[in-house]
Copies of this chain bind each other. A is one copy, B any other.
Amino acid sequence: MTQTHAKTDAATALIDGLVRAARSAQTALGSSSFATRQKALHEAAKIIRARTNDILASNQKDLAAAAQSGLTEAFIDRLTLTESRIEEMAVGLETIAAQPDPIGAELARWQRPNGLDITRQSTPLGVIGVIYESRPNVTVDAAGLCVLAGNAVILRGGSDSQHSASLLAEAMVEGLQAAGLPGAAVQIVNTTDRAAVGAMLAAVGGIDVIIPRGGKSLVERVQRDARVPVFAHLEGICHLYIDKDADPDKAKAITLNAKMRRTGICGAAETLLVHQQVAGDMLPAIAAELQQAGCVLRGDSAARRLVPDMQIAEDDDWRTEYLDAILSVRVVDSIDMAITHIATYGSGHTESIITEADDAAENFLQRVDSAIVMRNASTQFADGGEFGMGAEIGIATGRLHARGPVGAAQLTSFKYVVRGDGQIRS
C-alpha cells in the first residue's frame, strides 16, 4: 500500500466516523422545535462572549504560527480575531436566530380529484459539509445557519486557523448541548490532511451537499474532485404502518392495494408494520386476503403467532425490496417503534400510516423522513401522474433539488430577477 492510499484510507475512516455521528445527531436536531434550535444559537453566543479571552489567546497561537509561515497581510487579516470581531460573531448568531423557522413551511398544497390532499413541506437538508479557509468566523456563521435549518454540519477549516476554529466549534457544540440537542450536530475535521476533502466529496448518502466557502483556488480544488449530481432512488422499501387507531376496512383495502396492485413498481409496499393492540383483530383477516391474492408473507415471531403459516422473516427481509408478491410483516409495540423501524430499514421513498387518530397521523407525517409520507392512502400513489404533475422521469430520494416524483416542473432551475430604479448599495 502506498503512502497516498494509506492517507486516503485514514481520511475515509475519519470522515465515516464524523458522518455516522452527524446523521444520528441530525435526526434529533431535525425534529427539534424551532425554540430549541434558537436557544442553541443564543447559548452559543453567550458562551462565545464569555470566552472572549480564551478565543483571543488561541487566535494568538494561530497568528504566531502564521507569522512564521510568511503568509500575506490579507491572509493574516482574515485570520485575526479581535474583541469586536468576536462580538460580531455572537451578534451574528442572534441575528440568525431571529429569522423565521425555515423548516416545516408549507411550500405548496393542492387537492387531487380522488380527495388526496398533497402538501410540499420544507424539511432540513440533512448533513452539510463546509470547506473553508483560515477564517475562524466562518466556523460560527456556517454552523449557525446550518443548525437553524435543522442540519448537522461537518466543518473543514483552513489548517492555519485550527486553534481558534476548534474553540469556536466547541462553543457551538456546548450551545447545542445547553439546549438539550446532540453536540455532534456540529463537528470539525481535525486533520490537516488534504485527503479529507476528497473523502468528504466521496461520502455520497452520508453528506448531502458540500459548500466550499472561500476564494477561487479553494473552490477549484473542491470542484476538481466533483461529479455531476444525480437524481435517483436506489430502491423503494416502502412501509405501511397500521396504527392502533386504524379503521379495519381501510387497513385491509390499502394493504392489499399497496402490495398487490402492481408488485414490480417502486411504490409497492414491502413491509407491513402493525400495532400490537390491533394486530390480533386485524392481521389474520388481512393476511388471509393477501395470501388468497397470491402473496407470500414473512413475519416476525409475534406476527407468526397470529398467522402461523407465515414464513420466518430474517433480518435481511426488512432490508429487501422484493418487487414481487412477498411482504414482510412485523408487529410493533408503538408508533415510535414503527418510526424507528422505518428509519433503520427504509430507503426514504414512501411510507403510509393507517389511522383515524389525528395526533398519531401528524406525529408520523412529521417525523418520518422520506420523500413521500402518507396517511390513509396506498403507497402506490407515489407517482408523478397520481400527484397531478403529469409524466415523470422517475422518483428521487436524494434531498437536493428534486425529491419525490420528478416531472417537467422539477427539471427546472430558477433565477432571481431584480427590478430597481437606480438603487445603489450604501
Contact = CB atoms under 8 A, between A and B. Distances in A.
Interface of A: 92, 95-96, 99, 102-103, 107, 114-126, 128-130, 141-142, 144-146, 148-151, 200-204, 207-213, 216, 219-220, 222-223, 225-235, 247, 249-250, 253-254, 256-258, 261, 321, 352, 361, 365, 369-378, 380-381, 386-387, 390-394, 399-401, 403-404, 406-409, 411-425
B372 A418 contact: yes
A206 B48 CA distance: 44
Contacts of A204: 223, 226-228
Nearest to A374: B418
B376 A142 contact: no
Given A145-B408, A228-B204, A232-B219, A116 B420 contact: yes
A412 B227 contact: no
17 contacts: A99-B390, A99-B407, A114-B423, A118-B417, A120-B415, A120-B416, A122-B409, A141-B391, A151-B411, A209-B229, A254-B422, A365-B419, A372-B416, A374-B418, A376-B420, A377-B418, A380-B425
Given A257-B424, A411-B151, A234 B213 contact: no
Contacts of A419: 116-119, 361, 365, 374-377
B228 A418 contact: no
A202 B207 CA distance: 19
Nearest to A146: B411
A122 B412 contact: yes
Given A211-B232, A211-B393, A232-B219, A376 B422 contact: yes
Contact of A121 (B116, B226, B232, B415): B415
Given A229-B210, A321-B216, A115 B421 contact: yes
B414 A107 contact: yes
Contacts of A421: 115, 250, 376
A230 B216 contact: no
B209 A230 contact: yes
B230 A149 contact: no
Contacts of A96: 390-391, 408
A196 to B, nearest CB: 13
Contact of A414 (B121, B203, B223, B415): B121
A225 B227 CA distance: 8
Given A226-B230, A230-B209, A401-B401, A413 B124 contact: yes
Contact of A202 (B145, B228, B378): B228
B372 A117 contact: no
A393 to B, nearest CB: 5
A403 B401 CA distance: 11
A294 B132 CA distance: 31
Contacts of A226: 204, 227, 229-230
Given A377-B423, A423-B377, A408 B211 contact: no
A365 B125 CA distance: 30
Contacts of A225: 227
A65 B407 CA distance: 33
A394 B213 contact: yes
A227 B253 contact: no
A102 B412 contact: yes
B412 A228 contact: no
Contacts of A403: 413-416
A356 to B, nearest CB: 9
A417 B234 contact: no
A155 to B, nearest CB: 12
B376 A399 contact: no
A407 B145 contact: yes
Contacts of A228: 129, 200-204, 207-210
A385 B394 CA distance: 36
CB-based closest 9 A-B pairs = A377-B420, A257-B424, A399-B413, A229-B229, A227-B227, A250-B422, A401-B401, A374-B418, A149-B411
